[in-house]
Chain A
Amino acid sequence: MLFDQGVLDELWRMNKRQFLYQCLSFGMIVSSALMIWKGLMVVTGSESPIVVVLSGSMEPAFHRGDLLFLTNYQEDPVRVGEIVVFKVEGRDIPIVHRVLKLHEKVNGTVKFLTKGDNNSVDDRGLYAPGQLWLTKKDVVGRARGFLPYVGMVTIYMNEYPKFKYAVLACLGLYVLVHRE
């Protein structure tokens, strides 16, 4: 159906403007998703407003595949017991863990230690070598809400990259080839 002769014929029949519009409408689909994401970044103040929990280290609070909504308002203080998402140097994937200990100075700087609810030890072993505390600049955001299981789709997509590219390529081609 997708590679139907007629559909491809249609693409060849287009004139320059129709073809350009076809490309632009494909661009607009991509751009809309991008702009919604960037808009969320601006609203929440977090560089990654939605993350997927990848491990079971926060069970029973969060399970693998849960979708988390984050905010990162600078004026909001970090408190013990909050669940933060942070980045560690040398690791690509941010970690979702709970704040265990926190030291706050009068001038507002904080340093804190985290631990996964389901882990038996704190996170010092996960931090960069020699790093004992996290500071505000390591924080990606703080969990404000979650949606269970929805993130499993992303996990599967990442585990089977070929499947992901195949789906994306098919969708892209369909949009590009199909005149509305």
Chain B
Amino acid sequence: MSNKSNKNEDNKPVKVNKWDGSAVKNALDDAVTAVLIKKYNYEENYSLIDGRLLLCGVAVGVAMFALLWDWLYPFPHSRPVLIICVSTYFTFMGLLSLYTSYREKGIFVVAVQKDPAGFVPDNIWEASSALKKYDDKYNLTITVKDGKTGNLRTGSFVRSVANFIDDNGHILHDLVEPEVAKLHSSLLTEKKEK
């Protein structure tokens, strides 16, 4: 899958159904990710999404285990195990919604900016986005945690998705990149002022 995605970005422009809000948002998120990872050569850190995958994986695993156990030991005997599985499952569902709303908060990429010399601690870039249903305003927020000072700097822009997508629904990377780069450098220059 990842090979295909690379090929797609290099060879032909990504085409989406431009009336499908979530498809547009995902495609733009991917484009922003590509800028951070490819243009600036930051290293993508997957721990945030891995955490979510772990929560989902455990929940689905527990449900499948309950199904198997109930099949092996039909109902009245499986009752204690079912009680454990059902409560575990719903606990994990609760944890998952807490995780997505308080920990992830729409962050779709975490990129680590390594210091080439390796002396200064890494800067951590986080990008999150929001696109309301039936709305064309793509709201991108980039937060950088300065490794040296530990300061958080946040910058964001709101643009109509029409700025980044042509009539046929092709994502225009050439137009996404300068916007992201502008935001990126504004966050970098702030660092120099301090």
User: What is A's interface to B at a CB cutoff of 8 Å?
Assistant: 4-7, 9-10, 12-17, 19-21, 24-25, 27-28, 30-32, 34-35, 38-39, 41-42, 47, 178-180
10 inter-chain pairs at a CB distance below 8 angstroms, sorted by A residue, are: A6-B15, A9-B16, A13-B4, A13-B27, A25-B56, A27-B60, A30-B63, A34-B63, A35-B90, A39-B82
Q: Compute how far the CA of A19 lies from the CA of B74 in the bound complex, rounded to whole angstroms.
A: 34
Contacts of B64 in A (CB 8 A): 31
Q: Compute how far the CA of A28 lies from the CA of B83 in the bound complex, rounded to whole angstroms.
A: 18
B23 and A31 form a contact (CB under 8 A): no
Q: What does the 1/0 interface line of B73-91 toward A look like (CB < 8 Å)?
A: 0111001001101100110
> Which of A24, A28, A38, A42 has most B Cβ within 10 Å?
A38
Contacts of B66 in A (CB 8 A): 34-35, 38
Q: Which chain A residue has the least Cβ–Cβ distance from B169?
A: A6
Q: Which chain A residue has the least Cβ–Cβ distance from B17?
A: A6
A9 and B15 form a contact (CB under 8 A): yes
B49 and A35 form a contact (CB under 8 A): no
Q: Compute how far the CA of A16 lies from the CA of B57 in the bound complex, rounded to whole angstroms.
A: 15
Q: Compute how far the CA of A12 lies from the CA of B5 in the bound complex, rounded to whole angstroms.
A: 7
- B149: Cβ under 8 A from any A Cβ: no
- B50: Cβ under 8 A from any A Cβ: yes
B93 and A42 form a contact (CB under 8 A): no
B53 and A10 form a contact (CB under 8 A): no
> Which of B14, B49, B57, B60 has most A Cβ within 10 Å?
B60
B82 and A38 form a contact (CB under 8 A): yes
- B52: Cβ under 8 A from any A Cβ: yes
- B70: Cβ under 8 A from any A Cβ: yes
Given A17-B50, A35-B89, A38-B82, A179 contacting B22 (CB threshold 8 A) = yes
- B26: Cβ under 8 A from any A Cβ: yes
Least CB distance from A158 to B in Å reads 21
Given contact pairs A16-B1, A27-B56, a sample of 12 additional A-B residue pairs in the complex whose CB atoms are under 8 Å apart: A6-B16, A6-B17, A9-B16, A10-B23, A14-B5, A15-B2, A24-B56, A27-B63, A30-B63, A31-B89, A39-B82, A180-B22
